[in-house]
Amino acid sequence: MLRQRIALCLQYDGSAFQGWQRQPRHTSVQQTLEEAILQLDPAASPRVIAAGRTDSGVHAAAQVVHFDAMGPIPPLRWPKALNGRLPSTIRVRAAAAVADDWHACFSARYRRYRYTLHNGRTPNLFLAPWSWHRYQVRLEERSMAACLESLLGEHDFSAFQRAGSRRAHAITTVQEVALERQGDLLVVEIQASGFLYGMVRLIMGQLVAVGEGRLPPAEFVSRWRRRARDEVREAAPPQGLCLLRVGYPEPIFPEALWYDGQPRFLLESSDPPPPPPGADGS
């Protein structure tokens, strides 16, 4: 048999799974994908390696994984073959043959996450599975953007690491950040060489506190620079978070299938905006 390393680009609806990693008593993306691969290639490697381990409820627009195939299926036929055996909550977008020493996690140069906030007063059923609805006040995005920019560079982000992490240290490099408002939606993107366990959701919890006027921007910066994990108590819920893409030194997949796989919602303000923090004189 000829062993061939296959890289896959896949999307999944995180609300259907207890995260990426295989677990003994819960349904995971890893287990579901591994079982589908083994149906097609019983001699394939029993383990699929991902670029990042998304938490329970977190979505992926272009997760990248690899496994070692042993059967005759050509690389370009893997997406169609797998999609016929996977639940509708997982879709394989592309596949490619890679070198035997290529690694979905260790070969990656960056991971990029997107978090979507719904900042309108009126609930929207179709936004609910993919965003965090914060309607009490209109978020002050300029302060939030300034706090985001303070994260750029290589730092110790212990303040934004959930308990239970197995990492030896909390140092990583935030490469790019972006915040954009479109009507009632705020979209935050963070790109880094790697992410700590729960890092983006803890950052977003603090950013929303800044945007609502409950946390001064200077205190946001002070907390993470002092590594004050005990003061970071709010974490954003998982449904607004999506692993947008993973980058490598050389392109693996066509850009149209990999680069920006989560469609953006277009939403104008649905009603008079809530006042910014302190506008009522309080």
Pick from 164, 176, 169, 153: which is nearest to 53 by CA? 164
Q: Cβ(143)–Cβ(217) under 8 Å?
A: yes
Six token digits for residue 106 = 């260790």
Which residues are paired to 270 by β-bridges?
none
Amino acid identity at 62: A
127-162 per-residue burial string, b: 16 or more CB within 10 A, e: under 16: beebbbbbeebbbbbebbbebbebbeeebebbbbbe
Which residues are paired to 232 by β-bridges?
none
Residues 6+ apart with CB under 8 A from 204: 115, 117, 132, 188, 235, 236, 240, 241
In whole angstroms, what is the distance from residue 30 CA to residue 105 CA? 14
In whole angstroms, what is the distance from residue 228 CA to residue 9 CA? 37
Which residues are paired to 60 by β-bridges?
12, 243
Which residue in this structure is represented by tokens 């302060």?
A: 143
Pick from 192, 263, 193, 257: which is nearest to 7 by CA? 257
The active-site residue, picked from 13, 41, 55, 184, is 55
55: annotated active-site residue = yes
Residues 6+ apart with CB under 8 A from 257: 9, 62, 93, 94
Q: Which helix H or strand E contains 225, and what residues bound it?
A: helix 217-225
Catalytic residues: 55
